[in-house]
Structure 1
Amino acid sequence: MEQRLQTEHAKSRIEASPLAADELRNMDCYWRAANYLSVGQIYLRDNPLLTEPLTLEHVKARLLGHWGTTPGLNFIYVHLNRLIKACDLSMIYVTGPGHGAPGLVANTWLEGSYTAVYPNIPQDAVGMQRLFKQFSFPGGVPSHVAPETPGSINEGGELGYGLAHAYGAVFDNPDLIAACVVGDGEAETGPLATAWHSNKFLNPARDGAVLPILHLNGYKIANPTVLARISREDLESLLIGYGYHPYVVEGDEPERMHQLMAATLDQVVAEIHTIQRAARSQGATPCPRWPMIILRTPKGWTGPKEVDGKKTEGYWRSHQVPLAQLADKPEHLRLLEKWMKSYRPEELFDEQGTLRPELAALAPQGERRMGANPHANGGLLLKDLRLPEFRDYAVDVNGPGAKLAEATRVMGGYLRDVMKLNMDGRNFRVMGPDETNSNRLDALFEATDRTWMAETLPEDEHLAPDGRVMEILSEHTCQGWLEGYLLTGRHGLFSCYEAFIHIVDSMFNQHAKWLKVTGKEIPWRRPIASLNYLLTSHVWRQDHNGFSHQDPGFIDHVVNKKADVIRVYLPPDANTLLCVTDHCLRSRNFINVIVAGKQPQPQWLDMDAAVKHCTAGIGIWEWASNDQGSEPDVVMACAGDVPTLETLAAVDILRRHLPELKVRVINVVDLMTLQDKEQHPHGLSHKDFDTIFTTDQPIIFAYHGYPWLIHRLTYRRTNHKNLHVRGYKEEGTTTTPFDMVVLNDMDRFDLVADVIDRVPKLGSTAAYLKQWLRDKHIEHKQYITKHGVDMPEITQWQWGKSSD
């Protein structure tokens, strides 16, 4: 083993000098130009070419930005440009160290893709001054690689997702290479650490390639990085263990580093092409060992070596702004001027501020520019899914509640045929953490297998290199893959247990912010397919797994985001789930959250009724109501499959025991209809809301999640004062399904008690019913304690067929 690793290490360094003198000189100039522009963005608001002595008036009052990672990103960019031109590659640049925006903005401006989408920032001195001023400036652009940055598919405000995005981008993109720079600080995050395993899911016969470049500059904000401080042998062994062939490029002398990087990239791309040719000519092959690069450079390379007598280049002090307090320390202003002039801008730009032609010629042209590659603006490539007629999968409902079905199993049949219809286009995938079978979507395996390139055993089922269901027990990686897939112009679905989707809360945040910005503020970013979540195995049916699996709070998190971006659906049965799924797969630029159970549940609506109900998003269920032609005494509202069941069971009790009571039943599929129209485009007007919910009658609302969300959505409504919400209140354990709703006071008996307490005319006339409800709770507890299951009158209840 030791000998094998030594052999691998021996192959990891390439000593060659492929660059001719002129090419070497021009590439170094191009790198210096990118570094100059990067420093200028962090510091300057005027005097972009330093045609006059630098003064405080030329410098921004607030200095914000990150220099430390930027020169390495610039170094990589110029070398990838060379490779693209030499090999005619389609390549995108995924920036893991997200705060390296000065470098990515600089390089896209140099290649012209920035000016193409922002014509007000031309490639001259005027444009350079605007480029500098806008960076980290009010009304300008952020300091991280963001949607505003051409060529970006990775929101850099948070670290850890670059590698998963890169792999998601190249699935089903056979001609694309995603060069993904992984910062050594970023490499310490959990999402990034797991994403290395994405190579076990990459099929070289049909997918593109990811070129990971682990950029070791040694430091985070104020601490060393772990991977920069382990031995070189351990680091290379770690990456070999992940399944990669690491090549090492290290040093700080520019001429030598240019030669080493060029030679290494030539070798790496040759290996990628060899792997792909073999797979595409021979069919399925064992999981290859993909090449990658470990690039070790000083942090803040080419910046000030010392500031105030303290080490800066090659140390954490260069992480953000190496020279600060310019107003109080005039010597820092002189150091800044000296630093910028060290790049010799007069050799790089002419008097008009235009990049010299021999340098501009180094950049690729047209869509081969990484800032203009259409894969990084996926809406340009997006094609509609071919979708089957969802009505063909309808559950035959002869009467409300007369039939049981597993909603997600029905949905699985529909998704199976979505998969079949789009196999040729290879633009639809389903991601999830090892739960496709558990979530009753196993019909998908009638159309495809799970993606798998690693070792297989004879007893394995549904594992294949061509599989299109992607399962890895990392919600982070699933989400990252899907985001990369969507951002490059494809479609997909993410299925997950409801309680554990919280793992990607922060990733959801970043994608929602991306959609918010691109949808309203960046017209050149074309709409992409929506990010669709199916949350199942939900809180009310996690009785067997216990408290740890019981959490519906992701909805609350989602609703915090802009109304332009988010949608939340709570279909009560299989036919409404089919309607919602079809709608979500057709939508663009949204995050759709669908919450639906997988257990056998009563089916309420036939397909015609389901279509009408889902189209409106909210409605009165006339067949369950008895207030026609009069004002209701009470409104019974519900959102979610289990709340719907308990509400209808409560109404059934009321009908039998209090037949004179006028009850209106309202079901909510689209949660955002509860907000008013001024807050959400799906919201009901105040007039329509008052018509449905009344202006003064009590409302008992059974809700799938935390009750206060309903209050938050409806606080501006006329009748909010009479709204009483039941939902999950953080009471759970290992118990029975019905006991879960009892523990949280959302069961049918508690709902009936709520009606008695809130309808004034009932008063003492309902005393005997109140006592009956109390006794039912006692019977329930005694029964489950003895038998371990719910009472037959609960499990066998049917709408309109109950008896005392």
Structure 2
Amino acid sequence: MTGTTAAPTVNSQLDPADLHRIHMYWRAANYLSVGQIYLLDNPLLREPLRAEHIKPRILGHWGTTPGLTFIYAHLSHQIKRRGTEMMWIVGPGHGGPAAVATAWLDGTYTDVYPAVSQDAEGMRRLFRQFSFPGGVPSHVAPETPGSIHEGGELGYALSHAYGAAFDNPGLVVPAVVGDGEAETGPLAASWLSSKFIDPRRDGAVLPILHLNGYKIANPTVLARIPEADLVAMLRGYGYEPHIVAGDDPATMHHSMAATLDTVLDRIDAIWHGARYEGIVSDIRWPMIVLRTPKGWTGPHEVDGVTVEGTWRSHQVPLSGVRDNPEHLRLLAEWMRGYGPEELFDAVGAPTPETTALVPEGQRRISASPHANGGLLLKDLVRPDFRRYAVDVATPANHTAEATRVLGGYLRDVMRANPTNFRIMGPDETASNRLDAVFEATARNWNAHLLPSDTDLAPDGRVMEVLSEHQCQGWLEGYLLTGRHGLFNCYEAFIHIVDAMFNQHAKWLKVTRHLPWRRPIPSLNYLLSSHVWRQDHNGFTHQDPGFIDHVLNKKSELIRVYLPPDANTLLSTMDHCLASRDYVNVVVAGKQPGLTYLPMDQAIAHCTRGLGIWDWASTDAGTEPDVVLACAGDIPTMETLAAADLLRRHLPHLRVRVVNVVDLMRLQPATEHPHGLSDRDFDTIFTTDKPIIFAFHGYPWLIHRLTYRRHGHPYLHVRGFKEEGTTTTPFDMVMLNDLDRFHLVMDVIDRVPGLGEQAAHLRQHMADERLRCRAYTREHGADAPDIRDWVWPG
């Protein structure tokens, strides 16, 4: 074992007293980390360690932990000396013991959870709760003070750190990147984030690549390549690497302290140069490559096999401790090697000497308000969205590009919130027709500029990088530290962040039940270039399934909106930007689309979430023969065109048209906060009349949302059937049987007694489909009567 109770002494610029304090703190944090993994009782080892003191299920991970506690001790020392404001990101997924141990040592844990007091009983509870039923997870979870990042899924440490640093001019964010995490695609791309940070107004990210050589059972690539190649790679990404490597605590403390002095001085110099001398280009940011043994200070050898410095230390170096006396002896020796009698006083509290390097108040890393962003949250200044409304004198007679209209509103949101609102997107802001925002700000860019470049600047607030992972990670870091934002993306490719969305939703679910975690701005997705208007890109760009994925999460968190036109989109997005602790998914088209509702009606319709469109219905307030329901801009247009055909060809048929904006209204009130009561649902949709539902996404989702409803046996849903190609807009809906003619045929087939009366009309509808298909094949465009259809005035 390399753990020692004595502070090492080596001549260095590190003051001997500081060296002693750092080493004591590190020993204490390591002791507490091991205790969390193994102990159920006897936390201070004041009696011989026995089997009954050991947890029956030994869970947790030791391998990365001592490196993390080492980093934390040195960062705290620097904060104490300099007064620097810091929060940290723990990338290694299995570093939970370190973050909990350091938060308890700092007193933050007890501030948040008074029952886990800084005494022997509190230490016992700290140990018992870790990876224990009813306790806390083994990762750096939402329950852990000082965290905005749970490492359950690897790859997002740097993107979260950069998101936290944007618009935080005094904040340094050390981001520990595990060498296993460094092998993931998202992390590999996130090194590029250094080209998107503006030292005049942003904080700084200090990447710490922690190379302990192994992941779960295999060596890691970056730990095995020649150091010259590693340095060259990191320099190519725009960093100046500083190497700290070794296994001797004495040498490593001095080396780490000196290196942190150097890199923090360099960050200060970069900030000064940018803010007082205008130097914002050709900046090489400092970073640290930290090489330590995996399982450092743990058992060197167990059962004749080397453990420390190998993959065997990844989880629990000593297994079967309850049943193996030799392992129990080794565990007691290991823990006593940290000298708990020197680290903790008679009541079990950390001694003043142990915690002498802990900064005061909110300067403690675990107490950083940036890691509890709701504490710093300022409401978004939102212009009156009604000012951007398009005129709708007659429903469905004029067109507007809904997202282009929204762009004007977002431009002014940008202007009104110059330090706490950003738009993220993978090179698609202009493509999604939001380019009005460039009247207020540029795209953020801190790399080389050419004379031909437009809308690029170091202080740009539109963040574009061709990685959905980075956009999501930046935005999550930004939101979790108390700011606001929007992620716009092509609908099909938002699936790239499915797993990241999962993690954020899980985080929100947990934090909603932690009173000390304050609400943060919602994660807002705007999905455009959607399935029905990707006719030019084809099948690869046609997938509406993100909605299905999102709806797997807790109903208290999820909102899905399908505004059918420009005015409803404005109302919807204004609502989403004002919300807290939700994930809002808004799907809206960017192509010219029909407008349906003047703004006052649009607001009322969005407030209801769904409603009957009287102007398109022929039931005249009586019981309908059929309900035509729709959700999404293209399904709405096709539904109205079908209603027009029915009105002309079957004037006696009583048709009710229902449009759905808030998809969650379809669920019962018992299942979702936005759900309709059964009475209200039955009133609108009826209990025994055919419902032909034209839906933006996969048809079965509507069945999933409504299967409990009384009218569900009469529900027939049309939507995307995984048929797509490069073709015309109308041919695309025909490929999936969502077209107006097929909807009319569905009505004829499902309204009792109508089939015999309307046989000629049904055949005519089938012929119309053939006509339109033939026209597209001959002319490469939709027939004029389809392309130019409007609601008859």
Pairwise TM-score range, normalised by the shorter structure: over 0.9
The one-letter amino acid of 1:20's match is D
In the alignment, structure 1 residue 722 sits paired with structure 2 residue 717: no
The one-letter amino acid of 1:596's match is A
Question: Residues 653, 416 of structure 1: CA spacing in aligned structure 2 closer, same or farther, 3 A cutoff?
Answer: same
- Cα deviation for residue 342 of structure 1 reads 1.0
Match of 1:10 in 2: none
In the alignment, structure 1 residue 661 sits paired with structure 2 residue 653: yes
Match of 1:479 in 2: 472
Report which stretch shifted further, 494-503 or 344-353. Answer: 344-353
User: Aligned ranges for residues 111-260 of structure 1 at < 5 Å?
Assistant: 111-260=106-255
Contact 2:54 2:322 in 1 (8 A): no
User: Aligned ranges for residues 521-670 of structure 1 at < 5 Å?
Assistant: 521-670=513-662
Provide the C-alpha distance between the structure 2 equivalents of 1:404 and 1:727, rounded to a whole number of angstroms.
23
The one-letter amino acid of 2:453's match is D
Match of 2:64 in 1: 69
- Cα deviation for residue 22 of structure 1 reads 2.3
Choose from 728, 732, 752 the match for 1:736.
728
Q: Which contiguous aligned blocks of 4+ residues in structure 1 show a shift greater than 3 angstroms? A: none
Provide the C-alpha distance between the structure 2 equivalents of 1:789 and 1:531, rounded to a whole number of angstroms.
38
1:503-554 residue CA offsets vs partner (Å, 9 max, x unmatched) = 00000001001111111x2110000011100000000001110110000000
Contact 1:200 1:287 in 2 (8 A): no
In the alignment, structure 1 residue 684 sits paired with structure 2 residue 676: yes
Provide the C-alpha distance between the structure 1 equivalents of 2:279 and 2:384, rounded to a whole number of angstroms.
34
1:112-149 residue CA offsets vs partner (Å, 9 max, x unmatched) = 01110000101111110000000000110000001100
1:298-347 residue CA offsets vs partner (Å, 9 max, x unmatched) = 00000011111111100000001111122332211111111111111111
1:676-734 residue CA offsets vs partner (Å, 9 max, x unmatched) = 00110000001100110001000000000000010000010011000000000101111
Match of 1:365 in 2: 360
- Cα deviation for residue 369 of structure 1 reads 0.2
Identity, in percent, stands at 70
In the alignment, structure 1 residue 25 sits paired with structure 2 residue 25: no
Match of 1:453 in 2: 446
The one-letter amino acid of 1:390's match is F
1:737-761 residue CA offsets vs partner (Å, 9 max, x unmatched) = 1111101111001100000000012
Provide the C-alpha distance between the structure 2 equivalents of 1:178 and 1:571, rounded to a whole number of angstroms.
39
User: Aligned ranges for residues 137-536 of structure 1 at < 5 Å?
Assistant: 137-423=132-418, 426-519=419-512, 521-536=513-528
Report which stretch shifted further, 751-760 or 304-313. Answer: 304-313
1:356-380 residue CA offsets vs partner (Å, 9 max, x unmatched) = 1112221001000011111111000
Provide the C-alpha distance between the structure 2 equivalents of 1:293 and 1:16, rounded to a whole number of angstroms.
22
The one-letter amino acid of 1:479's match is Q
Provide the C-alpha distance between the structure 1 equivalents of 2:757 and 2:650, rounded to a whole number of angstroms.
10
Contact 1:168 1:483 in 2 (8 A): yes
Report which stretch shifted further, 662-671 or 278-287. Answer: 278-287
In the alignment, structure 1 residue 56 sits paired with structure 2 residue 48: no
Contact 1:284 1:465 in 2 (8 A): no
1:97-118 residue CA offsets vs partner (Å, 9 max, x unmatched) = 0220100000010000111000
Provide the C-alpha distance between the structure 2 equivalents of 1:18 and 1:623, rounded to a whole number of angstroms.
81
Contact 1:16 1:260 in 2 (8 A): no
Provide the C-alpha distance between the structure 1 equivalents of 2:11 and 2:194, rounded to a whole number of angstroms.
28
Contact 2:162 2:193 in 1 (8 A): yes
Contact 2:51 2:323 in 1 (8 A): no
- Cα deviation for residue 284 of structure 1 reads 4.9
Provide the C-alpha distance between the structure 2 equivalents of 1:314 and 1:608, rounded to a whole number of angstroms.
68
The one-letter amino acid of 1:451's match is N
Match of 2:5 in 1: none
The one-letter amino acid of 1:365's match is E
- Cα deviation for residue 612 of structure 1 reads 0.2
- Cα deviation for residue 484 of structure 1 reads 0.4
Contact 2:273 2:279 in 1 (8 A): no
The one-letter amino acid of 2:324's match is K
Q: What secondary structure does 1:360 align onto?
A: coil
1:558-616 residue CA offsets vs partner (Å, 9 max, x unmatched) = 00000111100000000000000100010000010000000001000000110000001
1:597-653 residue CA offsets vs partner (Å, 9 max, x unmatched) = 000010000001100000010100011111123210000000000000000000000
In the alignment, structure 1 residue 693 sits paired with structure 2 residue 685: yes
Provide the C-alpha distance between the structure 2 equivalents of 1:18 and 1:463, rounded to a whole number of angstroms.
44
1:484-511 residue CA offsets vs partner (Å, 9 max, x unmatched) = 0011110000000000000000000010
Provide the C-alpha distance between the structure 2 equivalents of 1:579 and 1:21, rounded to a whole number of angstroms.
63
Q: What secondary structure does 1:358 align onto?
A: coil
Match of 1:790 in 2: 782
Report which stretch shifted further, 341-350 or 270-279. Answer: 341-350
Provide the C-alpha distance between the structure 2 equivalents of 1:234 and 1:361, rounded to a whole number of angstroms.
40
Provide the C-alpha distance between the structure 2 equivalents of 1:67 and 1:228, rounded to a whole number of angstroms.
19
Q: What secondary structure does 1:740 align onto?
A: helix
Provide the C-alpha distance between the structure 2 equivalents of 1:639 and 1:304, rounded to a whole number of angstroms.
61
Provide the C-alpha distance between the structure 2 equivalents of 1:675 and 1:91, rounded to a whole number of angstroms.
44
The one-letter amino acid of 1:267's match is T
Provide the C-alpha distance between the structure 2 equivalents of 1:458 and 1:616, rounded to a whole number of angstroms.
50
Provide the C-alpha distance between the structure 1 equivalents of 2:364 and 2:620, rounded to a whole number of angstroms.
65
Provide the C-alpha distance between the structure 2 equivalents of 1:630 and 1:428, rounded to a whole number of angstroms.
48
The one-letter amino acid of 1:440's match is R
Match of 1:748 in 2: 740
TM-score normalised by length of structure 2: 0.98
Match of 1:6 in 2: none
Report which stretch shifted further, 603-612 or 279-288. Answer: 279-288
TM-score normalised by length of structure 1: 0.97
Q: What secondary structure does 1:430 align onto?
A: strand
Match of 1:760 in 2: 752
- Cα deviation for residue 25 of structure 1 reads 1.9
The one-letter amino acid of 2:466's match is L
- Cα deviation for residue 786 of structure 1 reads 0.7
CA RMSD for the aligned pairs?
Answer: 0.9
In the alignment, structure 1 residue 47 sits paired with structure 2 residue 42: yes
User: Aligned ranges for residues 763-782 of structure 1 at < 5 Å?
Assistant: 763-782=755-774
Provide the C-alpha distance between the structure 2 equivalents of 1:166 and 1:16, rounded to a whole number of angstroms.
35
Contact 2:52 2:322 in 1 (8 A): no
Unmatched 5+ stretches in structure 1: 1-14
The one-letter amino acid of 1:769's match is L
The one-letter amino acid of 1:341's match is R
Provide the C-alpha distance between the structure 2 equivalents of 1:407 and 1:667, rounded to a whole number of angstroms.
17
Count of matched residue pairs: 784
Provide the C-alpha distance between the structure 1 equivalents of 2:177 and 2:535, rounded to a whole number of angstroms.
41
Unmatched 5+ stretches in structure 2: 1-9
